[in-house]
Amino acid sequence: MKKLCLLSLAIGLASHSVMADATPAPIENKDAFVSNLMKQMTLDEKIGQLRLISIGPEMPREMIRKEIAAGNIGGTFNSITRPENRPMQDAAMRSRLKIPMFFAYDVIHGHRTIFPIPLALASSWDMDAIGLSGRIAAKEAAADSLDITFAPMVDISRDPRWGRTSEGFGEDTYLVSRIAQVMVKAYQGTGLIGADNIMASVKHFALYGAVEGGRDYNTVDMSPVKMYQDYLPPYRAAIDAGAGGVMVALNSINGIPATANLWLMQDLLRKEWGFKGLAVSDHGAIFELIKHGVARDGREAAKLAIKAGIAMSMNDTLYAKELPGLLKSGEIEQSDIDNAVREVLGAKYDMGLFRDPYLRIGKAEDDPVDTYADSRLHRAEARDVARRSLVLLKNHNETLPLKKSANIVLVGPLAKAPIDMMGSWAAAGRPAQSVTLFDGMTRALGDQATLHYARGANITSDKKVVDYLNFLNFDAPEVVDDPRPAQALIDEAVKAAQQADVIVAAVGESRGMSHESSSRTDLNLPANQRELIKALKATGKPLVLVLMNGRPLTILEENEQADAILETWFSGTEGGNAIADVLFGDYNPSGKLPISFPRSVGQIPTYYNHLTIGRPFTPGKPGNYTSQYFDDTTGPLYPFGYGLSYTQFSLSEMALSSTTLNKTGKIDASVTVKNTGKRDGETVVQLYIQDETGSMIRPIKELKGFQKVLLKAGEQKVVHFSIEEDDLKFYNTQLKYAAEPGKFNVQIGLDSEAVTQQSFELL
Ligand code: NOJ
């Protein structure tokens, strides 16, 4: 069947060719096949392949199919079911050269089953769990006829004011790079050609997470060393893991928009890194070159983008409109267009679409009877991954876990919030299928107790914010207020709390508050939620805060008020069950923060691995003229790598196998970790290294390894890390990647601050 399809394709190509070869190139030879096809394409057909369109409910399908059949579209995104995509592929098969379409989508943390947001996935520090989430997302997406995801998003984010912090994996280069690799492999499986694998397009290339002031779409200005050292490695890791695509960032880099950046797209990506995949612009980014002020008009924008090597233009018509004229006038060359077309066809080839255009679309008779059926979800896996991603920040007097026999009142605007559970970029997830905290706790209690509930507060009393959040959503209002006055909501909650043994308050952000275009100047909980917490605290009842949010918040006061705090981020379809598992002790929390929690917005950035400074602040010795803000405690509220468990762990002193390392050797650093508490539990043992003196200033420490270990109550284990020269390398002022001889401090801890240290010399 496949052979036949291939044969007819080859015959079709030959019979319609413009300058046809007598013998069609064999499909087994990618380069020859693509070249042969390109020889037969008209200029318009080539340019058509460079067009990637978004399919919206408002778009007339008939017209799109006509355009496809005319060879004017290379791929779509946002059209996500087999019955929707099949007619488009049929239209492509009616086109002169029968070049298949591809279908893409933002599958960021799950497709139909929504897993925790990426920041939460990173909090698990569990590469198997993260990989599983990606694998399931790929399978579900491919089963819905999708070929490509615009993920993973591996932008390092060190400024939580940026709303897209939720979409990335945190502040640390090493951790994000590890996850980047895992995600690419999970999406692409054993080979892109597989029917249940999808192509990964790593984004946003590059440095999008470093937008000035955390304000979305803002500029980025960064030294080359910082780029190479801190921000670029995750993209590189994804590409080295085989990512077939790259999505180019909307921001500028040192004065040149990424979309027109020859250094970024040609010198770095293609020449230095050897990327051979498909570079796609972000939404409307080519047109935005005019807004950036580097192109006078659409013509110049198209020229800059094609010259830079942006192969596909997402949702604008500039390539179709301008490339023919630019070619005619000699402002661009045929090779500029051909290189782009080669990338698109190459990606389609790699995804197996030339062999079988219906590889992921399948046959109509096999379409799911109900696309939205619950049986298509992977609930058990989502629940397990979600509970691994929860971070216990505080647990005074062992307030948690809760007894199922307790009289519990659940309050807060996020207790019954199915949309928010999914977080932003929730792909094809359906709110009706997500388990809220109320549902999860009710189920966990069964008939052992009744869960009392009072809303207590809306997300915010600021109408402007509500309007903004609802404006972002096209289908239905995301934030629905309880119309009662704020005080009435609080009074009701307090009354219920007074009857209870313990209060659980689900507070935080609505999902839209941590999204694209949702930068904030203030990271406090909204004022009305803070009022609620204050009133609850005044009841004197034990108070558990369940935080739901897509970025670190500034919770200094609430941290004092609460007896226990569980950071749950936005935990996905099974979030309510997963959180209940932790609240009731059916799962012992094991997550660790992948990003520091600042005490205040004024402290940002608070990332742990900052450069050493000449006048460092020394805890316990404040004094003047050291680097600090004198009006607050120095350092984050909760550091990178931090997270508690219901059991306790102790770490022995570290043992180093040698105090010297030569260039070809290895040092073993080990500690004994013991579970000294009464419950089985998991923790993450983290390895940090500091290069004490170098030819340039080095960070105070950098994560270089970690292991998540499960220990039964009372059990101990020796954890080993192997250190070699590669782990000590960095980019110097000449951007040479090398290690320098000298003293290195090795630290091992259960977070980035409380560590045990030893030193060795690199010879
Ligand atoms: C804009 C976003 O920046 C990008 O991440 C996303 O992939 C595209 N829109 C398509 O939805």
User: What's the 3-state SS for 339-355?
Assistant: HHHHHHHHHHHHCCCCC
Q: Residue of the nearest CA to atom 3 in ligand 1?
A: 282
- Give the number of C-alpha atoms closer than 13 A to the C-alpha of residue 277, restricted to the C-beta side: 25
Pairing of strands 660-661, 755-762: parallel
pLDDT at 6 over 70: no
DSSP annotation of 44: H
In the chain, the domains with their CATH numbers are 380-595 (3.40.50.1700), 649-762 (2.60.40.10)
Q: Residue of the nearest CA to atom 9 in ligand 1?
A: 283
Ligand 1 pocket test, pick from 211, 247, 250 with the greatest ligand atom count within 8 Å of Cβ, gives 247
Q: What residues contact residue 255 under an 8 Å CB cut-off, 6+ apart?
A: 219, 221
Alpha carbon of 484 to ligand 1 centroid (Å): 37
pLDDT at 494 over 50: yes
Q: What residues contact residue 301 under an 8 Å CB cut-off, 6+ apart?
A: 260, 286, 287, 289, 290, 295, 318, 322
Which residue type does 543 have?
A: L
Mean pLDDT of 548-572: 98
Percentage above 90 pLDDT, the chain: 93
Mean pLDDT of 512-525: 97
pLDDT digits (tens, 9 = 90+) for 132-191: 999 999 999 999 999 999 999 999 999 999 999 999 999 999 999 999 999 999 999 999
Mean pLDDT of 644-650: 98
Cα dihedral 166, 167, 171, 176, rounded to 10, equals: 140
In the structure, which protein residues have their CB atom closer than 6 angstroms to any atom of ligand 1? 106, 150, 203, 247, 282-283, 516
Q: Where are the beta strands (DSSP E) in 483-542?
A: 502-508
Atom of ligand 1 minimally distant from the CA of 78: 11
Q: Which pTM does this prediction carry?
A: 0.96
SS percent in the chain: helix, strand, coil, step 5? 35, 20, 45
Q: Residue of the nearest CA to atom 7 in ligand 1?
A: 150
pLDDT of residue 23: 72
pLDDT digits (tens, 9 = 90+) for 581-633: 999 999 999 999 999 999 999 999 999 999 999 999 988 776 678 999 989 99
Phi/psi of residue 700, each to 5°? -65, -25
Please tell me the distance from the alpha carbon of residue 50 to that of residue 311, in angstroms, as a whole number.
6
Alpha carbon of 495 to ligand 1 centroid (Å): 45
pLDDT at 15 over 80: no
Alpha carbon of 151 to ligand 1 centroid (Å): 10
pLDDT of residue 622: 64
Q: What residues contact residue 348 under an 8 Å CB cut-off, 6+ apart?
A: 99, 100, 102, 354
Q: Are 133 and 110 in contact, with CB atoms under 8 Å apart? A: yes
Please tell me the distance from the alpha carbon of residue 419 to that of residue 406, in angstroms, as a whole number.
28
Q: Is 1 exposed, middle or buried (0-12, 13-18, 19+ CB in 10 A)?
A: exposed
Q: Residue of the nearest CA to atom 1 in ligand 1?
A: 283
Ligand 1 pocket test, pick from 146, 150, 518 with the greatest ligand atom count within 8 Å of Cβ, gives 150
pLDDT of residue 618: 84
Alpha carbon of 561 to ligand 1 centroid (Å): 39
Please tell me the distance from the alpha carbon of residue 140 to that of residue 377, in angstroms, as a whole number.
8
Atom of ligand 1 minimally distant from the CA of 203: 5
Helix and strand counts by DSSP (H, E) for the chain: 23, 27
Closest to 145 (Cα-Cα) out of 191, 188, 102, 175 = 102
Please tell me the distance from the alpha carbon of residue 561 to that of residue 556, in angstroms, as a whole number.
9
Alpha carbon of 19 to ligand 1 centroid (Å): 38
pLDDT digits (tens, 9 = 90+) for 655-688: 999 999 999 999 999 999 999 999 999 999 999 9
Please tell me the distance from the alpha carbon of residue 661 to that of residue 647, in angstroms, as a whole number.
36
Q: Residue of the nearest CA to atom 11 in ligand 1?
A: 106
pLDDT at 16 over 60: no
Give the SS3 label for residue 751. coil
* pLDDT band, residue 434 (cuts 50/70/90): very high
Ligand 1 pocket test, pick from 202, 283, 516, 518 with the greatest ligand atom count within 8 Å of Cβ, gives 283
Please state, in angstroms and as integers, the Cα–Cα distance from residue 224 to each residue in 253, 729, 753, 757, following that order: 10, 16, 28, 31
Q: What angle do CA 646, 652, 658 make, to 5 degrees?
A: 140
Q: What residues contact residue 96 under an 8 Å CB cut-off, 6+ apart?
A: 16, 45, 71
Alpha carbon of 78 to ligand 1 centroid (Å): 11
pLDDT of residue 474: 62
Cα dihedral 326, 328, 329, 332, rounded to 10, equals: 50
pLDDT of residue 471: 85
Closest to 650 (Cα-Cα) out of 672, 679, 665, 629 = 672
Please state, in angstroms and as integers, the Cα–Cα distance from residue 457 to each residue in 407, 477, 558, following that order: 21, 18, 16
Say whether 282 is catalytic: yes
DSSP annotation of 621: B
Mean pLDDT of 488-508: 98
Please tell me the distance from the alpha carbon of residue 338 to that of residue 19, in angstroms, as a whole number.
16
pLDDT of residue 598: 98
Percentage above 70 pLDDT, the chain: 96
Of how many residues is the chain composed?
763
Q: Is 700 exposed, middle or buried (0-12, 13-18, 19+ CB in 10 A)?
A: middle
Q: How many other CB atoms are there within 10 angstroms of residue 735's CB atom?
A: 11
Atom of ligand 1 minimally distant from the CA of 204: 5
DSSP annotation of 163: G
- Give the number of C-alpha atoms closer than 13 A to the C-alpha of residue 493, restricted to the C-beta side: 33
pLDDT at 4 over 50: no
Alpha carbon of 384 to ligand 1 centroid (Å): 28
Atom of ligand 1 minimally distant from the CA of 247: 7
List the catalytic residue out of 230, 282, 336, 439. Answer: 282
pLDDT digits (tens, 9 = 90+) for 249-266: 999 999 999 999 999 999
pLDDT of residue 5: 41
Mean pLDDT of 118-124: 99
Atom of ligand 1 minimally distant from the CA of 153: 5
Phi/psi of residue 304, each to 5°? -60, -40
- Secondary structure of 423-447 in the HEC alphabet? CCCCCCCCHHHCCCHHHHHHHHHCC
Q: Residue of the nearest CA to atom 4 in ligand 1?
A: 282
pLDDT digits (tens, 9 = 90+) for 692-744: 999 999 999 999 999 999 999 999 999 999 999 999 999 999 999 999 999 99
pLDDT at 19 over 60: no
What DSSP string describes 298-328? HHHHHHHHHHHT--BEES--HHHHHHHHHHH
Which residue type does 81 have?
A: T
DSSP H or E segment with residue 557: helix 556-561
Which residue type does 108 have?
A: I
Alpha carbon of 253 to ligand 1 centroid (Å): 18
pLDDT at 13 over 80: no
Q: Which two tokens stand for residue 377?
A: 């979800």
Whether the link from the prior residue into 109 is cis, omega within 30° of 0, is no
Please state, in angstroms and as integers, the Cα–Cα distance from residue 418 to each residue in 112, 149, 412, 435, following that order: 14, 24, 13, 7
Ligand 1 pocket test, pick from 53, 281, 516 with the greatest ligand atom count within 8 Å of Cβ, gives 516
Whether the link from the prior residue into 152 is cis, omega within 30° of 0, is yes
**What is the Cα 278 distance to its own chain's centre?**
20
Q: Return mean pLDDT, the chain.
A: 95
pLDDT digits (tens, 9 = 90+) for 368-387: 999 999 999 999 999 999 99
Please state, in angstroms and as integers, the Cα–Cα distance from residue 388 to each residue in 25, 552, 675, following that order: 50, 18, 18
Please tell me the distance from the alpha carbon of residue 196 to that of residue 188, in angstroms, as a whole number.
9
